[in-house]
Copies of this chain bind each other. A is one copy, B any other.
């Protein structure tokens, strides 16, 4: 549908003039940000000394976004819309800042950047200036919840924001460069997951700007017919606005927005009032306008507007550049007729001010874009009600995440009214052991259904699409708008969103330092289906490196938990769901495994984050001969099995078992706020005794966290050594020398003067490992007696 062709003229001459004036003002402020350090109102002829020495920034996308912003302002006022703006293309910074300044929000949050000449000068200076603001939409900009630094996540964020916000509309500008990324390419399908009754709307505006840094964009260089097929194939109803003549384009954009808003209302009314249940084909806009629109047509003899050369700074202006560049810049700035826009003191003229929406209807002041303002605590069930009974350590469990499931089910139930909690995952919620949530809710799904589907419904608290990017992007959008959530994922494949995690962690770090930004709920990862239990998936599914990646980010932001059993998992998850402004990574198993701590003990242990397990130790609270440390469910099991063997066969050995739930306890407090003081660390790990540390992940991570500790030279870490395959859980630990036998052997090797009995035991264990290898190769199963060396198993066999 090309509204140009409709030739409707919804704007009367006054409206047309006013909206064009807003656009010119925004463009003027954008060029000013890129170029000017003085003379912001051009009260005098432009001189070199008024121009920034370093001209850094991006003009190309800016005028188109200013155009869109101006027109969105009009429909917001006209229809009293609750709408906010996402700037998807890279480097749209000048546009969002200019518009936030024009509608007054910028000066409200930054009073020093007032609505006068001095304020303008500061506004201009800070842009792309050391200590200032970057050239893309950033946390410092009010109205922004999406950063245009790394591309591809705008649409996912937009959908995340409007879930459970039925009146909200996310106007999401998608760059045609950004549209080439994988995450964006699949995000168009989000419309199959949006409920027109309970959720808001996303209005994508694909900005067909034509070029990236140096190349044309794919979507601008396929036929219009193909593009329309593509977007309809994605399930949208596209409206095309195309051209470069401002007057014609204003009318076309206004007519299109009127049509689009009417269609959104129609869809809502159909769904909410008339019970229409078919998936709507939501409207979207394709804006085809020249890159660097209204900028210089030709620079140095080469076409600029409408080419890739308009991407960054179209004209370089310096002492060494041709003198006409300065004149060209001045003519460009004056083409916006600033004297018609600002009064003598730099105040926006009244007729322009009148164009902006008012209060929180201004997109820059929409509270959803500063989600902490709207954040409501979750109603939390008592996690202790879901405790596993652990009469003694080592009792059988059903799978730790399977205990967590009913707790999450209750979280869902208790917040059904608030509608502020969702679970996200790539088709793995059941596989990850959380099937209990479907006793309280469904998978939200708007596409067709069939008789044998399970748990699909138009409304539901669980969103599952086979795209980790979508799960992450939706969740981020949901959190950024002041809600709570959980992403459950296979451990190996969470690396798919490494880079998205990076950007979110950076956002959290930045916003924590901005006074008017309010804290958000934490981003919670539950990594079940972890490296040690990929019995039939094998090597491709084995990678515990996400925590290595996570701990590179600012310590104030990141938390890593490795609960050893179900009661600890409950306690940890309760904590995470209540926490604010962190990224919490929780790793837990889904397979039946022994349980260690009763609820009270688990709660104490988790609140300390690290501690001695005296019931497993034999040092009688004195100095041990060796410390057996463990972090993670499988390493804890292997450690306790090793302890069982040691206590049985080398009863004189004084053992201490230390379990780590909160990995950050290992770092020093100067590195991480959770870090143990050196003295406390030494109390646990001794100053000079061997420490055999069984770790869930890559061993180097433990060294990296502890290399400054007193006893670090005696720390011997067993963990994942990138030796993977399809095999049993126990054999996986053998392949990586994390198993009970290797641990015992390492103790024997490290503790001096253990004598003949130890040497004999070592030999028997080495034999046992050979026997294991032979048995599993033949039978595909563990030696039957492996199960005997669990924790103090009453039927414990002999090694003989």
Contacts and interface: CB of A to CB of B under 8 A. Distances in A.
Given A150-B492, A214-B430, A498-B549, A707 B698 contact: no
Given A213-B428, A493-B499, A452 B303 contact: yes
Nearest to A192: B218
A466 B181 contact: yes
A323 interface: no
A553 B235 CA distance: 41
Interface stretch (A79-87, A248-256, A776-784): A776-784
Contacts of A468: 181
Contacts of A465: 180, 218
A134 B726 contact: yes
A189 B184 CA distance: 13
B541 A133 contact: no
Interface string A532-547: 0001111111010100
Contact of A552 (B449, B722, B724): B722
Contact of A218 (B180, B189, B543): B189
A590 to B, nearest CB: 13
A754 interface: no
Contacts of A216: 445, 447-450, 453, 456
Interface string A220-240: 011100111111111100000
A84 to B, nearest CB: 20
Interface in A135-177: 135-136, 138, 147, 149-152, 177
Interface string A425-448: 001111100000000000101011
A169 to B, nearest CB: 23
A211 to B, nearest CB: 9
Interface string A47-67: 000001110110000000000
B234 A540 contact: no
Interface string A770-797: 0000001100110000000000000000
A130 interface: yes
A695 interface: no
A755 to B, nearest CB: 28
A147 to B, nearest CB: 6
A30 B125 CA distance: 68
A263 interface: no
Interface string A466-509: 11111000000000000000000000110110110011001001
A668 interface: no
A454 interface: yes
Given A510-B539, A548-B548, A731 B130 contact: yes
A227 to B, nearest CB: 7
A429 B214 CA distance: 9
Q: How large is the interface on A (under 10, 10 to 19, 20 to 34, 35 or more residues)?
A: 35 or more
A614 interface: no
Contacts of A187: 182
Given A150-B492, A185-B186, A536-B135, A780 B129 contact: yes
Contacts of A294: none
Contacts of A565: none
Nearest to A312: B536
Nearest to A465: B180
Nearest to A781: B53
Contacts of A178: 466
Contact of A540 (B149, B303, B448, B456): B149
Nearest to A730: B130
A128 interface: yes
A212 B703 contact: no
Contacts of A536: 54, 56-57, 128, 134-135
A4 interface: no
A146 to B, nearest CB: 11
Contacts of A214: 427-431, 454, 464
A249 to B, nearest CB: 20
A728 interface: yes
A191 to B, nearest CB: 10
A608 B427 CA distance: 49
A308 interface: yes
Contacts of A370: none
Contacts of A213: 427-428, 430-431
Contact of A182 (B134, B181, B227, B451): B181
A495 to B, nearest CB: 4
A307 B537 contact: no
Contact of A151 (B53, B217, B429, B466): B466
A725 B131 contact: yes
A414 to B, nearest CB: 25
29 contacts: A56-B535, A125-B780, A129-B726, A131-B727, A132-B780, A134-B537, A135-B537, A135-B726, A136-B537, A177-B466, A178-B466, A180-B467, A182-B469, A185-B189, A216-B445, A216-B448, A218-B447, A218-B465, A221-B449, A308-B454, A492-B502, A502-B543, A506-B724, A545-B552, A548-B549, A701-B704, A703-B703, A703-B707, A704-B707
Interface of A: 52-54, 56-57, 125, 128-136, 138, 147, 149-152, 177-178, 180-187, 189, 192, 212-218, 221-223, 226-235, 302-303, 306-309, 427-431, 443, 445, 447-454, 456, 464-470, 492-493, 495-496, 498-499, 502-503, 506, 509-510, 535-541, 543, 545, 548-549, 552-554, 698, 700-701, 703-704, 707, 712, 722, 724-728, 731, 776-777, 780-781
Given A308-B454, A552-B700, 14 more contacts: A56-B536, A138-B540, A147-B540, A177-B466, A181-B468, A214-B464, A215-B445, A216-B449, A221-B450, A222-B448, A226-B235, A229-B229, A306-B452, A308-B452
Closest 4 CB pairs of A and B: A149-B540, A230-B233, A182-B182, A56-B536
